[in-house]
Structure 1
Amino acid sequence: MINLQPTFREPMSAIQIDEHGRLRHLLTLENLGRAHIDALLDRAAALRATVRAGSALPPLLAGRTVVNLFFEPSTRTRTSFELAARRLGALVVNFDIGSSSTSKGESLEDTLATLEAMDSDAFVVRHKENGTPARLAAHARRAAILNAGDGNHAHPTQGLLDLLTIRDRKGRIDGLKVAICGDVKHSRVARSDIHGLAALDAAEIRLCGPAALLPAQEDVPGCRITSDFDAALDAADVVIMLRIQKERIEHLPGFDEAEYFARYGLTRARLARARPDAVVMHPGPINRGIEIAPDVADGTQSVILDQVANGIFVRMAVLAELLQR
């Protein structure tokens, strides 16, 4: 059983699940459990089927207000949360951090209380500090808190959309060999992917990258850690590439981008070591020619754009689960 030890440690399972066993907030996939994860994936797939059949979506979130609180830049996550909420009939407020009272010293807790008093129903939170969404969840009176990425701790909806994308292509998660390559140590996506893959019984999770960008073995019991990229790719069913998190690293590995690509860049030749039907994934943004070759990112084995599309449906499912009356 893989039990990733994140930088921020709180009994989040007690915060995000209510006394009736229902999802109250979504902060992490750690200890969320297979039943909750499968239910969210199934709901996302059902919503996707409705949309792609050309049927009208029911306004499940009519009368609800969703506030995007993004303290870090985002393209995919913020846009897909907004689209997800609007498609379900919610009112969406994109909170302008730069012109808010937080710039005057107002605490996040007071900002939350103020917006809750305006009948806001959910807050989608991205923040550079680990544990910020959990901190807000502990102070929320009735609103739901959704973690859209906190520091290097967790990105649960990205983990869910990655699981859905793998399940779409492979039909299952259990029994698969998954290689996660790049800057694993500083990646919140990697953490959520590991928790989700473990919950759904992946056979093997391999973590690969330069030694300086890999977590300690005790932090990822059950995972296989290696700096040998070819070995990590050998007979893998799924290859998840990660960018270097320069904004979270004090000291970069001792080689330049060209040398990084030579050692850890995913090329067609390297991908041939994986299974012939292996899928290639990347949470974005992609740095072409650094962690992945353009012809692989755009190739037939790539499901990167499928991940982006699935992000909307996963976030619809999560919002509906938390907010539907």
Structure 2
Amino acid sequence: MNTPFQKETIFEHFAGRSTPLQRNLLNEWLKEPTNRELYYQWLEEWERTNWQLVTNDDIEFDKLLARIDQASADADSETGRNVSLLPRWFQGRFLAVAAVLVVFFMTGLYLSRSWWMYQTVVTGYGEIHQERLADGTLVTLNANSSLTIPRFDLGQGAREVWLRGEAEFNVARQPDRRRFVVKTDDDFDVEVLGTEFVVYTRNNTNRVALQKGRVKINYRSGKQLNLRPGDIVSLDETTGRLKIAKTGRPQQFSEWKHHRYHFDNTPVADVLKLLQDQFGVQVALADSTLSEQRISGQFKAQTASELIQALETILDLRAIHQGNHIELQPVDTLQ
């Protein structure tokens, strides 16, 4: 989807004033990694310039009018005392202006409530970040990802965070056994009490790899699935298919924390997709049949170049750089 979005339109969305059609177009637009990066940059800018507080403008305005009416009644009932020297028409205008200013102020606070109530942690390409939440939960955020967390924990209800991208969660168990819920944009939520797991939500795919403890998946408007350690569950948002697999080494799904990447008969096309998601680098293949070749092994790479070099060695390819464009070509075609 190449529909362009102006910054002003995105800011209107952050303020809660986007239409259903705009939200649908925005979801399509965000499927492009470059668009997501721009979206997060604008989100940070918007949050810095918008204070946020949950209010109810109608209730507060009604309270203000009630206080004004009461003050006027008290003044009229007291003869000879506290009589204003200002004409009544001036008092009326003054109160009207004050009421309008209060409404504008309260409306501004209401529209900027998300900045006040939540903060968003964003990682760039190639960046890995650890965030310790107020409840003691440790979150390791993978590159090109964002995590939205409440600024205040009132000690009531579930502990909820919102993830885009990929992250490992080491959830701290609470004495009151309050649930911890990881929410995504795709009606796919992960609910736990205390455990370690990795959540991946990119490219129309949601995946959970459970390392310790137990989690419950809530998906597709009411469906549930309980996981045990070693379970790997993925949901394809395009087809709606849910896949369940088992692994004896679930830790491999969080090896990116140490800049290690584990491939097990993985198609080259998936490796190129990882390069895009992790480092923001687009790599093309001179021969499209190479995309179906598969590789296995574990590779350490802190940059896109190191991972591309591994592909060159394994598949006997050479990376040709032309500006920002990288193409992998078989060595025999270069001779």
TM-score calculated relative to the size of structure 2: 0.28
The structure whose Rg is larger is 2
| Greater percentage in strand | 2
Higher RCO (C-alpha 8 Å, min separation 6): 1
TM-score calculated relative to the size of structure 1: 0.28
